[in-house]
Amino acid sequence: MSPGGHLVTTLAACAVGAAYTHNWPVVAGIAAGGFLIDVDHAIDYVAFDGQRDLRPDAFLRYYLDGHMRRTVLILHSWELFGLLAATAWMTGWSWLIGWLAGGLMHLVLDLIFNGRLTPRSIVAFYSFAYRAAHRFEAAALLGTDERTPVDFRFWRAFFGASDTPRGMLDSTTDHASPRRRG
């Protein structure tokens, strides 16, 4: 799923969590598990792929164009979820219960929307041990097929709508900034 898709679904889950629980640690946990879990992509980008361009558009383009070499993704793993679920059960920490709820929503959405990107089992991909067995090599895990370059405009790409017809997400010329008007 696109980062924007995760943001929107996480905001909705936070609203439901707040209305249902009135517990702000739960809501903070949902936000962290639903959206901030993707910080591990940034860690992979810098620590394992050696990228130094920290501009959001460079980071997003790197992933959308399929340039990643390593997919460690420590926070996207069934093993971590099992450990955290056991910890939440033993401690009763409400923020961790929220994190698990948000994170599980995140992983389920990834399974649904990202399955077409993996040549093998998408469910296995979310196992840290499976990725480790493949030495975290993106080519082995995600395949080597060339991705079609996207019509990259940051907000379109962020919300996963790079193939949306022009004008659907862009400002009209009379409402666009001087830079966008050309």
Q: Residue ranges of the domains in the chain?
A: 3-162
Confidence of residue 148 (pLDDT cuts 50, 70, 90): low
Q: Is the dihedral of CA 150, 151, 154, 157 positive or negative?
A: negative
d(CA 9, CA 182): 34
Rg, C-alpha atoms of the chain: 18
Classify residue 129 by burial, with Cβ atoms within 10 Å: 0-12, 13-18, 19+: exposed
If phi > 0 it is left, if psi is from -120 to 50 it is alpha, else beta; for residue 116 that is alpha
Q: In this predicted structure, what is the pLDDT of residue 171? A: 45
Query: Given a cut of 60, is residue 41 above it in pLDDT?
Result: yes
Q: Over the chain, what is the mean pLDDT?
A: 85
Say if pTM beats, i.e. exceeds, 0.75. Answer: yes
Q: How far apart are CA 73 and CA 23, in angstroms?
A: 29
Please compute the mean of the pLDDT values over residues 28-38 and round it to a whole number. Answer: 96
For the segment 8-35, the average pLDDT, to the nearest whole number, is 97
Give the pLDDT confidence of 152-181 residue by residue, as tens digits: 677 777 777 555 444 444 444 444 455 544
